Amino acid sequence: MAEKEVPGAMSKICIFGPSKHFFSGLSYYTIRVSNALAEENEVSVVLFRKLLPKLLFPGRKHVGKDLSDLNLSGEIDERYIDWDSPLSWLRAYHFLRRGNPQILIFQWWTSSVGHIYAIFKLINRLFLHKKIIVEFHEVVDPLEESILPIRIYSRIIGRIITKNITAITHSNADKELIAEKYRLPSKDISVIPLGPFDHFKKINKEEARRRLGITDNYVILYFGLIRKYKGVNHLVEGFSQIPEEKVRPMRLLVVGEVWDDLGLEELIEASPHRDKISLRDEYVPDDDVSLYFSAADLLVLPYLRASQSGVAHIAITYGIPVITTKVGGLAESMSSYEGATFISPGDPTEIKDEILRCFDISASRNIRSSEMGWEDIAKRYAEIFEATLR
């Protein structure tokens, strides 16, 4: 029998999510939200060490590398599981039995973990009898959505996992998509803003540029995985349209691991401003994240679709102006940031015009934001925990 929660009392939570082995923005998020919740709750984590066969993972070059100094609080107990190891699932089950959490939180961002969540939901129904919350970061991954068998599997497994649960997502746009795709009642879906990615160091701009070997006066940054839906090719095309007399003081940095073949190198080589464009194809460790954002005057995120963007939230903590597109929950989540400008997706000319506008007004780097801090976000979670345990 599940424990009865006393209103206002500490909750016992176990969070399932990605570890640092298959490192991503979701790894950052899992660590940050776990640490934030551990301030007022008893928190444990079950982390995926292996997500899928390494050869099938587009970012396999960085798998297993230590790319971040961000770690879980010492108060948080942890257990690791692998997608292909029933023995690790059994150990995780015993871990849950010992820890006896009241709520299990499943981070959902890829259907690669769908079978494990389905197994643990069954285990929970038969033996544990805990409350389950599914926290959605993606409704369906774009690559998975494009492959028919995976799309069908994702939809079926998603509906199994989300039946009779509470859900959390990070925008009202995603709330509507989740309710439609997984047939969840809207009343069972709560919206909590994405927390700030404020753990990166800030470096003097001149020092950051010196260490990166940049001598240009105005640095435009694209940062993050390079995938088709990110629209990076439209950014390069828009930058290539900037008049020669305007582009001279500029530098476009395209920084991130290439997952999809966009012909980006060929596009850069064909640009009249190819000497003004730098491409760094790799997953960037924390120290270099600080360098790029400290050096940048402007961040451009020309996404064709998006649920949220951790990259945008890094820019907010650095006070950098952001040009991004009106897609998904991105406009909603960035609406409180006075440095954000929104454009239409897939329009290189509009990207060019907005870059020039930002360049001409020389927007301040110290832009204010009303973004919620982790303490406030933890309070929102606490309200959901209390309602779930009634």
Most confident residue range from 164-173, 300-309, 324-333: 164-173
Average pLDDT on 334-347 reads 91
Give the pLDDT confidence score for residue 273 in this predicted structure: 98
| b/e 135-144 (16+ beta carbons within 10 angstroms → b) | bbbbbbbeeb
The answer to whether residue 151 scores a pLDDT higher than 70 is: yes
Query: pLDDT at residue 3 above 60?
Result: no
- 3-state SS class at 267: helix
User: Of 167-181, 241-255, 302-316, where does the model show the most confidence?
Assistant: 241-255
Identify the pLDDT of residue 53: 79
What's residue 132's pLDDT?
A: 98
Is 12-195+373-389's fold the same as 205-361's?
Answer: yes
Q: Any alpha helices (H) in 39-141, and if so which ranges?
A: 86-99, 114-123
Q: What is the pLDDT of residue 108?
A: 94
Which of 3.40.50.2000, 3.90.870.10, 3.40.50.11540, 3.30.9.10 would CATH assign to domain 12-195+373-389?
Answer: 3.40.50.2000
pLDDT of 4 reads: 46
Mean pLDDT (the chain) is 90
**Tokens 């609406």 appear where?**
335
Q: What is the pLDDT of residue 146?
A: 80
**Backbone φ and ψ of 362, nearest 5°:** 50, 60
The pLDDT value recorded for residue 366 is 59
* Percentage of residues in the chain having pLDDT higher than 70: 95
Residue 368's pLDDT is what?
Answer: 67
CATH topology of domain 205-361: Rossmann fold (3.40.50)
Write out pLDDT tens, residues 71-104.
Answer: 999 999 999 999 999 999 999 999 999 999 999 9
Calculate mean pLDDT across residues 293-319.
91
pLDDT of residue 272: 97
**Mean pLDDT across the stretch 309-324?**
92
Report pLDDT for 197.
87
In this predicted structure, the answer to whether residue 370 has a pLDDT above a threshold of 70 is no
Residue 59: its pLDDT value, please? 78
For residue 230, what pLDDT is reported? 94
210 vs 52: CA distance, rounded Å: 39
Q: From the CB of residue 71, how many other CB atoms can be counted at a distance below 10 Å?
A: 10
Backbone angles phi, psi at 309, to 5 degrees: -145, 110
**Strands 103-108 vs 250-255: parallel, antiparallel or unpaired:** unpaired
CB 53, CB 25: distance < 8 Å: no
| Pair 179, 186: CB distance under 8 Å | yes
Question: What percent of the chain is modeled with pLDDT above 90?
Answer: 68
User: Where in the chain are the domains?
Assistant: 12-195+373-389, 205-361
Cβ neighbours of residue 71 under 8 Å, at least 6 residues apart?
Answer: 31
Q: What is the mean pLDDT of residues 360-380?
A: 77
- Kindly report the number of other CB atoms within 10 A of residue 165's CB atom: 17
Question: Across residues 177-193, what is the average pLDDT?
Answer: 92
Look at residue 236 in the predicted model and tell me its pLDDT: 98
Reported as a pLDDT band with limits 50, 70 and 90, residue 209 is very high
